[in-house]
Structure 1
């Protein structure tokens, strides 16, 4: 009876030691750039992904993953080794799982259901691209139309300029550029009693930006 208890204790201790050794080994295999990326991802991409900021979120994440050597896990260029029992495959899985967790932590609660069942970073990245890129483009088209039609009417100049700046910032945050100078949109929306001012600005040889109007 005593021998059986001793054997059981020995097996339990061996099993515990084995698990601890495995965990220690796995932790020791996590590269320093990966530790840095996972630990700081929310600071590197401070604004959670929503349907309105996909382009800028994507640019931020891709830049950080590239800087730390893991862009291939997002794009699918770095595939897992074919031998699923190899140490190389285990290391790839360790890295990719951490990257997937990092992606999860940078999306809003409304977006998370899109990728919660993803098993790789590339799968999550691809799903988000397929779901959100069309929305982002449609949003930019809507904003550009709004910028083209914006009118000062009876608003104070400060409020009018603030409205234009808000639209321009939203377009820029989506990763798109304005087709023409912002001053053109500002002048086009001014009422007739500003015609003299508009002529002066249009005939000016100096570049006029939004800050100049302020």
Structure 2
């Protein structure tokens, strides 16, 4: 254990995401990252089991005296359970009411939010490949599809970054046809960062052309 004390207020400033029905992947990633950084996530995984509650005397056997280790473990675990609950929305909290340990609460949340039904998986796959950009920005569209892909990956579906890129390209409007053709014709692998950069550049060029065309038409009308 990196630190014998667990102060909730120390972590709340770092845990900015509250668990909702549609953001388990994002919430879980941040929560695990922070708690692992302080060597405390083993409580949630059940890898730091509760020690014996009562002192065992070599002569008389089990006594009624509670061990110091047990008291300390319970104190830490209750603090961690309180921290977990503080990061839940009102709806998510319904699923951990009655849980007595941080491990029990984490398991309940995993079963509720990470275990997506086959029907939901099929819905997400359909959404990934049929969603259109419409009038939203490239950045928002890309992040929307990435969130869908992350949900699928979290339940064991194998979807590469390239699969995400193809889904994004398929949902772009006709004016992105040139950049779509160029990216699909590449022989080398493109990182998600570079992919985003190229789409943003194309979006900027399209917007500039539209503004220029609008200005020209206005001038003609005058």
TM-score normalised by the chain length of structure 1: 0.67
Work out whether residues 100 and 120 of structure 1, in 8 Å CA contact, stay in contact via their aligned partners in 2: yes
The counterpart of 1:106, out of the listed 75, 87, 97, is 87
More helix by share: 1
| 1:171-210 alpha-carbon deviations (Å, 9 max, x no partner) | 3664838532544334434577876664444335674613
- Root mean square deviation, CA, Å: 3.3
* Larger RCO (CA within 8 A; separation ≥ 6): 1
CA–CA distance in structure 2, aligned partners of residues 189 and 111 of structure 1: 32
Structure 2 residue aligned with 1:74? 44
CA–CA distance in structure 2, aligned partners of residues 149 and 47 of structure 1: 28
Residues 192 and 75 (structure 1 numbering): CA distance in 2 closer, same or farther, change over 3 Å? closer
* Aligned residue pairs, count: 178
Structure 1 residue aligned with 2:32? 62
Structure 2 residue aligned with 1:17? none
Structure 1 residue aligned with 2:4? 31
CA–CA distance in structure 1, aligned partners of residues 186 and 20 of structure 2: 41
Gaps of 5+ in 2: 55-65, 201-222
Structure 2 residue aligned with 1:10? none
Residues 169 and 117 (structure 1 numbering): CA distance in 2 closer, same or farther, change over 3 Å? same
More strand by share: 2
Q: How does 1:64-213 map to 2 (within 5 A)?
A: 64-84=34-54, 85-135=66-116, 142-151=123-132, 155=134, 159=136, 161=138, 164-171=141-148, 174=151, 176=153, 178-179=159-160, 180=162, 182-189=164-171, 198-204=180-186, 207=190, 209-213=195-199
CA–CA distance in structure 1, aligned partners of residues 41 and 48 of structure 2: 8
Residues 169 and 90 (structure 1 numbering): CA distance in 2 closer, same or farther, change over 3 Å? same
TM-score normalised by the chain length of structure 2: 0.65
Larger radius of gyration: 1
CA–CA distance in structure 1, aligned partners of residues 144 and 117 of structure 2: 14
Residues 52 and 186 (structure 1 numbering): CA distance in 2 closer, same or farther, change over 3 Å? closer
Residues 42 and 136 (structure 1 numbering): CA distance in 2 closer, same or farther, change over 3 Å? farther
